[in-house]
């Protein structure tokens, strides 16, 4: 397959050759050559990687009854948003409920070739988080518990070792021993939904924590201006940080400051999308919790100010990041592709459009005035899986 598209860094057109599912050669655009996809006014980027997605299109990974076909349907729907790889996210619930949700994901990885190509591991968000209102977010209080290594090992056995990211709060006395053990097995421990003081944040990093989950959210509405657990994570150069840039979770000015403080190289865009993403406003479920999507696209617990995931799509997150922060388009794309691939240790396979990488690619148009990205086509493992014109 031959693709023609612009490079984001200099807007010059080039031809990319794909053979056997891998990027093979790159040449200056030759108008005498036929190409299968793209065009002179289309840009090319590496496929987007979402490290935190609870569901999409009315399908919830936190529903213990979710089927393989439903998980496949999520994967196909995400192609329209440019996402080619992702971490299904399972949140706080009873041990048995979590086990059943993990089983669903692993079964889908075995039975669905589409999902198997997209699957980069499971993100277990909770249940070892803060029980306090605010930091707990939409997670059910009755199932919040201290870190339990034996329970985690049971879940990891169920997941066949595919829990790649674990979000917890280091405020529990058991946290540091747990972080050391989990990190030693290759699990990426993320700090999130926390009320921990700055000293405990610093100790968690020394124990092996590597990331902050949706920094600036899953927190109290009011905290000490300084020191506090947000500043401590933002300033720590050893922590990566993920951000939900949907216009609801973080104001534009905060996005700008956070990205400048953390730096592009350590920042990752996530959607934290729930089943309502891609759907009309209304009431939906996140596991056993009822949530509401407003006309403005805000997802919250009904009757409360608490956010409960998002209805965000990754291509919109990229556009909003450029609009809010002044970041270059190629930097916003990096936060949605190369950076998550590097954190996962998959940057030799995903995240860039270098020769030798798997051909997971997004072709898109960029409206500079509106700062909006529109997906034209998505390629997974060298195959065109979505074309905008065909979809329309």
Write out the catalytic residue numbers: 272
- Joined tokens for residue 322: 């450029």
The reply to whether omega before 188 is within 30° of 0 (cis) is no
The span from the CA of 95 to the CA of 124, in Å, is 12
Strand (E) or helix (H) holding 352: none
- Mark 282-299 as b/e (b = at least 16 C-beta within 10 Å): eebbbbebebbbeeebbb
**Taking a C-beta distance cutoff of 8 angstroms, is the pair 74, 114 a contact?**
no
Q: Under 8 Å CB-to-CB from 320, ≥6 apart: which residues?
A: 245, 246, 247, 255, 371
Q: Residue 47 has what DSSP assignment?
A: P
Q: Under 8 Å CB-to-CB from 42, ≥6 apart: which residues?
A: 4, 5, 6, 363, 364, 365, 376
The span from the CA of 44 to the CA of 220, in Å, is 40
**C-beta neighbour count of 162 within 10 angstroms:** 17
The span from the CA of 257 to the CA of 106, in Å, is 39
Provide the sign of the torsion angle of the four alpha carbons 382, 383, 389, 392, taken in this order: negative
The span from the CA of 127 to the CA of 94, in Å, is 9
Helix (H, G, I), strand (E, B) or coil at 380: strand
- Joined tokens for residue 114: 């589409």
């Amino acid at each position: 397959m031959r693709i023609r598209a612009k490079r984001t860094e200099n807007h010059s057109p080039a031809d990319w050759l794909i053979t056997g599912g891998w990027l093979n050669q790159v040449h200056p655009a030759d108008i005498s050559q036929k190409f299968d996809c793209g065009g002179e006014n289309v840009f090319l980027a590496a496929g987007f990687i979402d490290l935190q997605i609870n569901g999409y299109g009315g399908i919830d990974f936190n529903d213990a009854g979710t089927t393989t076909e439903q998980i496949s349907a999520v994967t196909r729907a995400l192609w329209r948003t440019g996402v080619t790889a992702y971490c299904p996210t399972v949140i706080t619930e009873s041990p048995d409920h979590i086990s059943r949700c993990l089983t669903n994901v692993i079964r889908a990885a075995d039975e669905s070739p589409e999902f198997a190509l997209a699957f980069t591991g499971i993100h277990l968000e909770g249940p070892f988080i803060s029980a306090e209102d605010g930091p707990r977010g939409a997670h059910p209080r009755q199932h919040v518990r201290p870190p339990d290594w034996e329970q985690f090992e049971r879940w990891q056995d169920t997941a066949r070792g595919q829990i790649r990211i674990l979000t917890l709060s280091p405020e529990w006395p058991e946290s540091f021993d747990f972080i050391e053990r989990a990190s030693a097995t290759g699990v990426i421990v993320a700090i999130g939904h926390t009320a921990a003081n700055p000293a405990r944040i610093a100790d968690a990093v020394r124990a092996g924590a590597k990331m902050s989950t949706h920094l600036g959210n899953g927190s109290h509405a009011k905290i000490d201006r300084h020191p506090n657990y947000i500043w401590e994570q933002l300033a720590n150069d050893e922590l990566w940080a993920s951000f939900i840039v949907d216009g609801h979770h973080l104001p534009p000015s905060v996005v700008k400051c956070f990205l400048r403080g953390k730096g592009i190289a350590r920042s990752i865009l996530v959607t934290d999308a729930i089943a309502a993403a891609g759907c009309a406003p209304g009431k939906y479920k996140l596991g056993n919790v009822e949530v509401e999507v407003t006309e403005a696209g805000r997802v919250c617990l009904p009757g409360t100010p608490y956010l409960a995931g998002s209805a965000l799509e990754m291509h919109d997150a990229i556009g909003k990041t450029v609009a809010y922060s002044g970041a270059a388009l190629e930097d916003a794309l990096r936060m949605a592709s190369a950076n998550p691939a590097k954190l996962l240790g998959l940057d030799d396979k995903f995240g860039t459009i270098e020769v030798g990488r798997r051909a997971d690619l997004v072709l898109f148009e960029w409206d500079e005035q509106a700062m909006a990205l529109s997906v034209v086509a998505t390629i997974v493992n060298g195959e065109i899986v979505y074309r905008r014109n065909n979809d329309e």
